[in-house]
Chains A and B, each alone.
Chain A
Amino acid sequence: MNLHYLGKELYYQKRRTMTAILGLSIGIALLIILNALSMAYRQAAHAPLQAIGADISVQRSGDVPKDLAGAVFPCSAVTIRQAEVEKIQGLPGIRGVGKGILLWVFDPNRAWIVLGIEQNNSVGPAILRSAVTEGKFLQEGSSEALVEVAYARQFGIKVGDMISVAEKKYPVVGLVDASQAAKIAVANVYLPLAGAQDLAVSSKQLQSVSPYNSGDVNLLFIKADQEKIRDMAASLKNILGKNATVATPDSFLKLLGSLFALSDKFTLAASLIAILVAILIAFKTMAGNIAERAREIGVLKAVGWTNRNVVTQLLMESVVQCFLAGILGLLIAQAVTFGLSFMKVNIPIPWDMAPTPHFLPGGGDQIFKTLRLPIHVPWALASFAFVLSIVIGGMTGALLGRQIGKIKPSEVLRHE
């Protein structure tokens, strides 16, 4: 192979070179962008649960409270028995389980959304530890409360105040900003799990609708092996029955409704089309190149180039074009994904996972977890696309080797 010849051919045949490089680079860029988009939507679908350190959230729907007085369970989150929790903890692929109790407390002069949390469990709402804006986080074994900062501002609650929830008094030890949290498992007041369980046990209203024993919960947050999440969702429904609401990244992905989010098959099909288009462009350009240069190939053979010499020369032209197309494709994909990264994704939170009673002002509104599309070009995808572009170049050149072989050196005299 002669590099001089190769370089000059690519340089002086600008139109041919640019057509090949641009065509192929668009195919490569499409392949990268489609896959990056698909991965970004998948990653975005993890966001609502990731914000509370989990991969799966579990609750069970039940009956509507008869009277809205004292502590009640929302109808979308009724009792999950301790025995059921233990069964769930034994499922294969479980890496951690966080427990919570969500209560609506209707005191005579105020309604509270109360969430009982495990203070030291990184799976679940205790992840809010980093969102404390004033005071401190809940201590283990103590009977104290954290108040959501907006709620505290609205009702003039300060750190050090005493609040009364369902006739029990709690010192406010801190304020927490849950506005950036998952939109699920957010509350006005956060109590230690044991304290919230006490409220549930002692509430006659709650017991009359959804019998509850000490140790039971009504929210579960599960950290699991990624590849087992789908199977686990099915197992959870088996354990908890048909009323179980199991939220997984897949279920959020379906709510997103985007074509990329909906189907792996779509991404695969679109990627295959992009690759096919890239191959066809490379093949067509190369085939055209050979047809156009039949006489030149004849000259090369006449002056003593073997078939292998000629094939290697043209193969390397194809590989270099595809190499450049790979680089350009990567740059195009990087630019497009950078642009797309400013796009906002609104992930709808199902009503039954929203903590606010739907009959309170704003409670019936659809809420969303909003985030910037987490799109980027992973190294593995970039490397794959780049290697693919070179393979396409090599493959095309090799396939056309036979066509080159058929061109006889006497071709040069046919044009005389």
Chain B
Amino acid sequence: MSKSAILSGEELSKKYGSLEVVKGVSIRVDAGEFVSLVGKSGCGKTTLLSLLSGLERPTRGDVVLNGKKINGQSEDELALFRRENVGFIFQSFNLIPTLSAWENVALPLFPLKMPAAEKRQRATELLNQMEMGHRMDHLPSALSGGEKQRVAIARALVNHPKVIFADEPTGNLDSATGDAIMDILNRLNKKEGVAILMVTHEVELAKKAERLVRMHDGEVIS
């Protein structure tokens, strides 16, 4: 792995029973790079994302994230590692319905021994950055799809991650809102220097990333 690589997967395989969903995939993402992983539904791209982010363990192969091999770690070690290095953006936002926008943003910080005011301050800054300052105390049920995704992006940034994993981040949004979210991701990538690995099945959207990786039937084809 070169010095600039922030994330790499070597010969990654994932089997569920006899079904091999990811077949010996090797992939790398450099620091500050925006990579999109594109392929049809069911080709294994979301499984690959979960292997690279430490949400799932590979059946075979290694994952190195921020210089650390993560596939031998316990669940709790992985959780702590994700807390310090990784941010997630999901297709269906995955906000906690009972928490307000700022509380959802601060969610990864809740277990930390850190003054509550500081957590709120950090969440407020990020929501302002997402132009969501006026919706801070609203519950997710009171937000539009685009607003929810902005809150989710703010949450992904709250722990100053090295890599953001985005799984179909515009999948539940109309095209205009989707474009706006892509602009935000591009801006973050360029201004903050955070690496992004985005999974999508839309080739046009994937082309907005710096580099495009195609998957088919569990394998990387280009």
Contact = CB atoms under 8 A, between A and B. Distances in A.
Interface of A: 2, 4-5, 8-9, 11-13, 295-296, 299-309, 405, 408-410, 412-413, 415-416
B82 A303 contact: yes
A303 B167 contact: no
B80 A306 contact: yes
7 contacts: A5-B99, A8-B103, A300-B107, A306-B75, A307-B76, A309-B111, A415-B92
A301 B96 CA distance: 13
Contacts of B46: 413, 416
A191 B168 CA distance: 102
Contacts of B83: 303-305
Contacts of A306: 75-76, 79-80, 111
A9 B99 CA distance: 8
A303 B88 contact: yes
Contacts of B98: 5, 8-9, 11-13
Chain B interface helix/strand/loop/mixed: mixed
Nearest to A308: B76
Contacts of B107: 299-300, 303
Given A12-B97, A295-B94, A413-B55, A304 B82 contact: yes
B61 to A, nearest CB: 16
B79 A305 contact: yes
A307 B74 CA distance: 11
A189 to B, nearest CB: 78
A416 B90 contact: yes
A299 B94 contact: yes
A95 B84 CA distance: 74
Nearest to B172: A416
Interface in B46-81: 46, 49-50, 53, 55-56, 75-76, 78-80
A299 B83 CA distance: 12
Nearest 8 Cβ contacts at the A-B interface: A304-B83, A12-B98, A303-B108, A2-B110, A410-B55, A306-B76, A309-B111, A8-B98
B55 A409 contact: yes
Nearest to B97: A12
Given A9-B98, A408-B56, A416-B46, 10 more contacts: A2-B110, A5-B110, A12-B97, A12-B139, A13-B98, A303-B82, A305-B110, A308-B76, A405-B75, A415-B92
Contacts of B75: 301, 306-307, 405, 408-409
Contacts of A416: 46, 90-92, 167-168
A12 B92 CA distance: 21
Contacts of A410: 50, 55-56
Given A9-B98, A413-B55, A302 B82 contact: yes
A304 B96 contact: no
